[in-house]
Amino acid sequence: MQHTAAAVKPKTSRTRRVYILQLVIRCIVLAVCILIVIFDPKQTEILQEWNFFRRLSPFHLLWLAWMLDMLWQLVPVKKRVVIALGSQKHFRFRFQPIKEAFSMQALRRHIIETTKAAYKVFALWAVIVAIVSMLRVFDILSDTALLMITMVFYVCDLICVLIWCPFRLIVKAKCCTTCRIFNWDHLMMFSPMLMVSGFYSRTLVLMAFADWLLWELCIMMYPERFWENSNAALRCTNCTDKLCTQYCGRNHTQS
């Protein structure tokens, strides 16, 4: 009895190993950026107006990495690049229709409930961004400080996926794969850059908004792709990502 009751720890998947590596790389990038800001602060002049085109900076590489990362959420990528199912479930090629019939009313109710919860997160995040923006308006924070806040969010994004996510308490998602706001990450990450006027920040914010808009439109047009009772790919038994193992072992036992 004890043996059957014990939760079997899932084997670390390739996707999770890649994301762990990405978290390590992001931590290193954050540390390097902190050193650059301390010892060569002129590098952050790239943030101002059109300085993006006037000199090279290590922050160009960061901008390129961010833009490519967001591009993967706009364009279906089927091979070669390891991308979590939760981030691509709005695409048709990730959709696996279930064989049994399901209730359209239940689907509609699920989408309405998860959307209400999602926009509680949106409201909370708007308050945080408003506070940060006011600190910038009163020159308590600089453009460089807003960039570093974004960098911290960049690291926290994968901490939420791999270790613990506070927003899960609000949206009540059982895991990242089924999470209603999985592709809100970039919009939330770059929201502090709203107060930075320049090509660097504007392009990042606009691309993040495009990701968010596509995600929200797909939820309205193809809600069946976002519910495990209509999309078999989202069920624990079919999960290959095993990203958030602190939840998936428990869910696997329940399913």
pLDDT tens, position by position, 71-115:
989 988 776 667 899 999 999 999 999 988 889 999 999 999 999
Predicted confidence (pLDDT) per residue in 197-222, tens digit = 999 999 999 999 999 999 999 999 99
Nearest partner of 183 among 222, 240, 226, judged by Cα = 226
Convert 31-56 to b/e letters by CB count within 10 Å (16 or more is b). Answer: eebeebbeeeeebbbbbbeeebeeee
Confidence of residue 185 (pLDDT cuts 50, 70, 90): very high
Q: What are the contacts of 140-145 at 24+ separation with CB within 8 A?
A: 143/44, 143/47, 143/48, 143/195, 143/196, 143/198, 144/37, 144/41, 144/44, 144/47
By the 8 A CB rule, do 188 and 125 touch? yes
Confidence of residue 2 (pLDDT cuts 50, 70, 90): very low
d(CA 165, CA 159): 7
Confidence of residue 9 (pLDDT cuts 50, 70, 90): low
The rounded mean pLDDT for the chain is 90
Both structure tokens of 89: 């479930």
pLDDT number for residue 126: 96
In order of 132, 161, 188, 216, the CA distances from 127 in angstroms are: 9, 23, 12, 21
Residue that wins the pLDDT comparison between 65 and 80: 65
DSSP at 138: T
By the 8 A CB rule, do 73 and 186 touch? yes
Predicted confidence (pLDDT) per residue in 16-40, tens digit = 999 999 999 999 999 999 999 999 9
For residue 97, give the 3-state DSSP assignment. strand
Question: How many other CB atoms are found less than 10 A from the CB of residue 89?
Answer: 24
Confidence of residue 242 (pLDDT cuts 50, 70, 90): confident
By the 8 A CB rule, do 170 and 121 touch? yes
CA 254 to chain centre: 26
Mean pLDDT of 231-246: 86
Among 56-65, 141-150, 168-177, the least confident range: 168-177
pLDDT number for residue 174: 86
User: What pTM was estimated for this model as a whole?
Assistant: 0.89
pLDDT number for residue 249: 53
Total residues found in the chain within this entry = 255
pLDDT number for residue 6: 46
C-alpha neighbours within 13 Å on the C-beta side of residue 61: 7
Sign of CA dihedral 72, 152, 126, 178: positive
